[in-house]
Amino acid sequence: MRSPSIQHMIITELISSFCEALNTRTPYEAETRIRQHEGEYPYMNVRGIPVIDADGSVCLAIRNQSGFM
């Protein structure tokens, strides 16, 4: 069984902060630890800005910029 990429104890906090940013249409920023290939958990700064379309909905999937499907 693989260990989780993000430490389990902070996932709820990250999701809550992200949802608040989407609901308030404000920039998102969080500091978290993400597992690297070698098994270490360095601190990472995660940031984002919700993109709003003409009808007020959040839009722009990451695959539009990164090529992920």
Q: Do residues 13 and 35 touch, judged by C-beta distance below 8 A?
A: no
pLDDT tens digits, residue range 1-58?
455 656 666 788 888 888 898 889 899 898 888 888 898 888 889 888 888 888 888 8
Rounded to 5 degrees, what are φ and ψ at 38?
Answer: -75, -5
For the chain, the domains span 8-66
Question: Cα–Cα distance between 40 and 31 in angstroms, integer?
Answer: 16
Which sign does the torsion angle of CA 38, 66, 43, 15 carry?
Answer: negative
pTM: 0.58
